A and B are shown apart, each in its own frame.
Chain A
Amino acid sequence: MLEVEGLDVGYGPSTVVHGVSFTVAEGEAVAIIGSNGAGKTTTLRAIAGLLQAGAGRVNFDGHDILGEAAHVVSRRGLAYVPAERHLFGGMPVHENLALGAHPDKPDPDRLRQVYDLFPRLEERRNQTARTMSGGEQQMLAVGRALMSRPRLLILDEPTTGLAPKLASEAYAALSTLRGEGLTVLVAEQQVPLALDLADRGYVIEDGRVELDGTSEQLRGNPDVQRAYLGIA
Chain B
Amino acid sequence: MNPAVIFDGVVDGLQLGLLAVGLTLLYGLGGILNLAHGQIAVLGGITAALLLDAGWGALPAAAMAVVAATAAGLVLDQTIMRPVYRERGEDRILLSLLVTLGVGFVIDGLLVWRYPSEALTLRVGSGSVEVLGITMRVGSLYASAITIVAIGLVIGFLRATRAGRAVRSVIEDEVGAELVGVNPSAVRTLIFGLSGALAGLFAVTQSMTSPVTSSSGVSYTILALIVTVVGGLGSATGALLAGLILGIVNAISAAEIGSYITSIILLAAAALTILVRPSGLLGRTE
Residues of A within 8 A of B (CB): 48-50, 69-71, 74-75, 79-82, 85-91, 95, 98-100, 102-104, 106, 144-145, 147-148
Contact = CB atoms under 8 A, between A and B. Distances in A.
B180 A90 contact: no
A98 B173 contact: no
**Chain B residues touching A, range:** 10 to 19
A100 B179 CA distance: 8
A33 B179 CA distance: 23
B180 A103 contact: yes
B176 interface: yes
A85 B176 CA distance: 8
Q: Is the interface of A mostly helix, strand, loop or mixed?
A: loop
A100 B165 CA distance: 11
Given A89-B172, A103-B180, A106-B162, 11 more contacts: A49-B178, A71-B182, A74-B181, A82-B179, A86-B176, A91-B168, A91-B172, A102-B181, A103-B163, A144-B180, A148-B181
B166 interface: yes
A41 to B, nearest CB: 13
A69 B181 CA distance: 9
A50 B178 contact: yes
Contacts, number: 73
Given A88-B168, A88-B169, A90-B284, A99 B180 contact: yes
Contacts of A144: 180
Nearest to A89: B172
B183 interface: yes
A81 B180 CA distance: 10
B202 to A, nearest CB: 27
Nearest to A70: B178
Contact of B178 (A69, A100, A145, A148): A69
25 contacts: A71-B177, A71-B178, A71-B179, A71-B181, A71-B182, A71-B183, A74-B178, A74-B180, A74-B181, A75-B181, A80-B179, A86-B176, A86-B179, A89-B284, A90-B284, A91-B168, A91-B169, A95-B165, A99-B165, A99-B166, A99-B169, A99-B180, A103-B169, A144-B180, A145-B179
